[in-house]
Amino acid sequence: MPGESLRAFIHALPKVELHVHLVGSAGIDTVLALARRHPEAGVPTDRAELEQFFTFRDFDHFLKVYWAVQSMLKDRHDIRTLVTGLAAELARQNVRYAEVTVTPYNHLLDGMPGDELLAGLTDGRANAAVEHGVELAWCFDIPGEKGAVAGRETVVFALRERPEGLVSFGLGGPEVGVGRAQFEPFFTTAREAGLRSVPHAGETTGPATIWSAVHDLGAERIGHGTSCTADPALMAYLAEHRIPLEVCPTSNVRTRQVSSIAAHPIRRMLDHGLLVTLNTDDPPMFGATLEGEYLAVATTLGLDPAELAQLAENAVNASFLYTASKTALLAEIESITHNGLTELTRNSAPDE
């Protein structure tokens, strides 16, 4: 498929994003607005300087930028700005639905009142639907490096407040030295209350972390999970039980978990029948877009348009959308795919 035709096909696909962190979604315009609102944070308020500050250099630099953004989130207006900026970017890429990871414990620890966080999320979600046609849902996750106290506070906050759109319960942060099993009581409580289990596992550690996420935390989806390819039995289990993987190729390259897109195990995962979805993680901070992820795996790993459409379908099926919404999106993907392949065949036909 010619380059422009491929880009048009990817754009036309109605897409779903399942792994994007709210703080990590802040683009230049959003950060600029926050920096000018909170100059005391020391984040550049000049666009050119901010763009230089925002240019990813290494993982330590990513953390510096991430925490700089975190430090500027003071109230509902800042959260709403963040949510609205994300929705605008998703709409630009024809992303119709996203499950966005929010880490309440970090905001509360920084001194933001819980009702301010919730009001910002609620206002931003409503604005996303009305102004951008994007439906947002929330995953409240535990910052694993902060231990059991963070797990306890996160589940208490989630179930006490239960904002509209909250669908899942997650676990993020570093994996090394942060065992999944210690969070089992909090995931059990969340699952019994109806939240779905979506912990990170197997990004920076091996298959044992993914096994633990499945067995100890009842994972219904796995954040990243790329190390599963080191364990054939695990791949077989994930395929048999149809446990989706939220794969973020550019993020994995930027954090040096893989050396390049060409070296990414996503093709192997697909070949083993795994339910793979494409996602961006912390998109502006890693220089990623969801359309860019589709384009990268197509051009570098040789995925054809039908396989790209299958990835889009996987994301819909792996989401926690209502059945009617899933059915409508799947029908649209099928129509776009049929028309796109027909157009490709027409463009490729020899002149008579």
Tell which residue, 345, 339, 336, 346, has the closest CA to residue 12: 336
Chain centroid, CA 176 distance in Å: 21
For the chain, state the CA radius of gyration: 20
Strands (E), 91-242: 95-102, 135-143, 166-172, 196-197, 200-201, 222-224
Task: Give the tokens for residue 195.
Answer: 């939240």
Q: Is 175 among the catalytic positions? A: no
Question: Distance between CA atoms of 150 and 157, rounded to whole angstroms?
Answer: 10
* Closest to 180 measured CA to CA, from 136, 147, 225: 147
Q: Among 175, 203, 291, 313, which one carries the catalytic annotation?
A: 203
Taking CB atoms within 8 Å and a gap of at least 24, the contacts of 145-149 are: 145/173, 145/174, 145/178, 146/105, 146/173, 147/182, 148/182, 148/183, 148/186
Closest CA to 104 of 39, 220, 186: 186
Q: Which two tokens stand for residue 73?
A: 């989130």
Q: Which residues are CB-contacts of 80 (< 8 A; sequence separation ≥ 6)?
A: 120, 123, 124, 127
CA distance 269 to 221: 15
CB 322 within 8 Å of CB 137? no
What is the spatial distance between Cα 98 and Cα 217, in angstroms, rounded to a whole number? Answer: 23
For residue 140, what is the DSSP state? E
Helix (H) or strand (E) holding 147: helix 147-161
For 287, which DSSP code?
A: T
Active site residues: 203
